[in-house]
Amino acid sequence: MKNLINTLRIAFLLVFSTTFAQQDTNYSLYRYTMNVINPAYAGANSERIEFITHVRNSWSGVEGAPETQSFNLSTPISDRLGMGLSVINDKVFIESELDVFIDFSYRLQLSENTNLNLGLKVGGSSYHLDTQGLNGYRVKYDPTLWKVNKRLRPNVGIGAYLKKDNYFISFSIPKLLNSRALINDTSDSYIYSKDNKSTYLSGGYNFMVKNIQFKPSLMAIYTNGAPLSLDLTTAVRIIDKLEVGLSYRTDNAFSGLFMIDLLDWMNVGYAYETSARREIIKVSGGSHEFLFRLLL
């Protein structure tokens, strides 16, 4: 029975691992973590230094389920220039990938209240397979799994961020180059495992109804070889310090979220996501996201 459970788990996670290789992580709190995907956001949202740390644990209760941790730092360095640092650690089953990028943005003032920021990401990624994680599973020995090249693979990304007082539009391709892992096969030739680039398009609009601020937004993600992902979110600032929201993603995922202003320079956010897909509900206790933001 234990072997059967292990077999089911590894099959489930390997199927998801293929999806993970095709498409980057979906964030329920994407509106508050734009630096992860768009370099144009660096220094564009605040006149102060902005620090954000973000953790997402998907499918709680499933051994080897996806985990993502991100660290973002951005600041304006002049009237028109912004700079940031993005560090993202993704892990699923025996796979892990670490991205480290420096973000640059340049602001164009289109009108008195409208700015267009153009951004560039420069950095790279390293990929790792923890083959020790296969212990206990009946997996046929594959020598190529022990020959993964862990060296840093350079990459670049681009982005644009249009912002006015009551709306924003964001477009980005955070990784233009699509080489993912480098593996030596038995003939000592090189094999590239492709990580297809993802394109992000998002927008949001804020409006007031009887002293209540509504903040609908959407996020579309397109990756070659993967279905289009569309996330629809509605958030409401019900009191001056508290924002709550609901979202739906087109792969049948639903989320509830909140952001609370503990101080005028400190915010904490949380989101819980569940799925309407029966095969996921049976094995998972849902996904959790935590966000901590400082303005210095």
Given the structure tokens 């849902």, which residue do they identify?
Answer: 286
* Alpha-carbon gap, residue 67 to 127, rounded angstroms: 15
Q: Express each pLDDT in 222-247 by its tens digit.
A: 988 788 999 999 999 988 889 999 99
pLDDT number for residue 3: 41
- Token pair for 129: 């397979």
Q: Enumerate the domain spans of the chain.
A: 2-295
Q: Return the higher-pLDDT residue of 86 and 191.
A: 86
pLDDT of residue 47: 80
Classify domain 2-295 at the CATH topology level: Porin (2.40.160)
DSSP label of 282: T
Are the beta carbons of 169 and 117 closer than 8 angstroms?
Answer: no
Distance CA 294, CA 289 (A): 17
pLDDT band for position 18 (cuts 50, 70, 90): very low
For residue range 146-173, list pLDDT tens digits in order: 566 667 789 999 999 999 989 999 999 9
Q: Please list the alpha-helical segments (H only) found in the chain.
A: 2-22, 278-281
**CA separation, residue 162 to residues 106, 115, 178, 186, 291 (Å):** 12, 6, 26, 50, 24
State how far the Cα of 139 lies from the Cα of 13, in Å rounded to an integer. Answer: 13
The pTM of the full predicted model, rounded to 2 decimals, is 0.83
What amino acid occupies position 108?
L
Strand partners, 99: 88, 125
* DSSP conformation letters of 142-184: -GGGG-EE---EEEEEEEEEEE-SSEEEEEEES----EEEEEE
Predicted local distance difference test score (pLDDT) of residue 272: 94
